[in-house]
């Protein structure tokens, strides 16, 4: 017998959807992933202190928050499998899913909450100091005590990079934007705001060659793309804003996506281009990318899936 609801993804969105669906007696099956698109629990598993998730005035460690949400989902009746889904067939009903171990599953409705993976610099020193001064989210981490009134860097040249730099000016003493070219890719409005901001300095034609620090980031080694000369920049925080990749490869183009590859949903809804299939969290949101917004859309997806199944049963 097919499951009534299957959820792919175990970040804030997938686990919130599981909690709501389980409490509605839908007995959801959740694939939390294993290797593809990051680790089980999503990007919060590599985030240290989370200070902006409601209900935790003293903050909470990212892995602990995800552990709490997973435990809550299981407590209410969610079945969790540590498996990657390799492919799905959304052209037949019930929908079928195939895991990386070769098992096949059938489901009446599906929530895709696989998130997006931040593009990162392919440096050993980056991996070693990730979460120790290096982050991919200034909104998430920029207000941490370790960064307040200190010099920080943002790597990138698009709208996201400039937005992150402007956000950091609320806390930092100075913000450097490190850009590999001699002109920005961002919109003219964002460029004007950055270029006229007294706390922001753009370092043109620069790329990061190395992150320096023993247990915490202390500086960056930069290479000039025009002259190949290297220099050292002292900063205690570096925020990579070089884009995200939505984790949708397993869909094999069966759902409609936007120009950036994110799943398209009906405005104000989590409904996708196929009835009975819903998308929530960062896999369909490239604007906010926050744990709390992902959790909110997970709630929406579970509620919409329940209503859709009820309407279908009533036909």
Which residues are marked as active site? 137, 140-141
Token pair, residue 204, equals 């043109």
Whole-number Cα distances in Å, 268 to 258, 271, 272, 285: 16, 9, 12, 12
Q: What are phi and psi of 219, to 5 degrees?
A: -165, 170
Tell me which residue has tokens 């928050």: 65
Mention every residue, 6+ apart, whose C-beta is less than 8 A from residue 121: 155, 208, 240, 242
- DSSP class per residue in 95-160: EEEEETTS-EEEES-EEE---EEEP----HHHHHHBTTTEES-HHHHTTSGGGTTSEEEEE--SHH
CA distance 280 to 224: 41
CA distance 164 to 143: 12
CA distance 240 to 178: 10
Whole-number Cα distances in Å, 301 to 57, 138, 169, 200, 272: 28, 27, 35, 40, 10
User: Residue 116: how many CA atoms within 13 Å on its side-chain side?
Assistant: 28
């Amino acid at each position: 017998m097919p499951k009534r609801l299957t959820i792919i993804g175990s970040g804030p969105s997938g686990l919130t959807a599981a909690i709501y669906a389980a409490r509605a007696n839908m007995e959801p099956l959740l694939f939390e992933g294993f290797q593809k698109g990051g680790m089980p629990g999503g990007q919060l598993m590599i985030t240290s202190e989370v200070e902006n998730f409601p209900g935790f005035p003293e903050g909470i460690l990212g892995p602990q928050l995800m552990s709490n949400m997973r435990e809550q989902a299981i407590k209410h009746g969610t079945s969790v499998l540590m498996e990657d889904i390799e492919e799905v067939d959304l052209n037949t009903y019930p929908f079928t899913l195939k895991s990386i171990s070769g098992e096949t599953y059938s489901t009446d409705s599906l929530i895709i909450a696989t998130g997006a993976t931040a593009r990162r610099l392919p440096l050993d020193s980056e991996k070693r100091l990730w979460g120790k001064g290096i982050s991919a989210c200034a909104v998430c981490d920029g207000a941490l005590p370790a960064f307040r009134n200190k010099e920080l860097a943002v790597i990138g040249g698009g709208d996201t990079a400039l937005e992150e730099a402007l956000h950091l000016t609320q806390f930092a003493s100075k913000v450097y934007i490190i850009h590999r070219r001699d002109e920005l890719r961002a919109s003219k409005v964002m460029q004007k705001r950055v270029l006229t901001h007294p706390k922001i300095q753009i370092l043109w034609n620069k790329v990061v060659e190395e992150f320096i620090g023993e247990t915490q980031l202390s500086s960056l080694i930069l290479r000039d793309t025009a002259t190949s000369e290297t220099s050292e920049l002292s900063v205690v925080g570096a925020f990579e804003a070089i884009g995200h990749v939505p984790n949708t490869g397993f869909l094999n183009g069966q759902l409609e996506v936007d120009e950036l590859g994110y799943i398209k949903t009906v405005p104000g809804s989590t409904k996708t281009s196929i009835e009975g299939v819903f998308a929530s969290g960062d896999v369909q949101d490239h604007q906010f990318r926050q744990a709390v917004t992902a959790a909110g859309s997970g709630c929406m997806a579970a509620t919409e899936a329940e209503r859709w199944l009820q309407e279908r049963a009533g036909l």
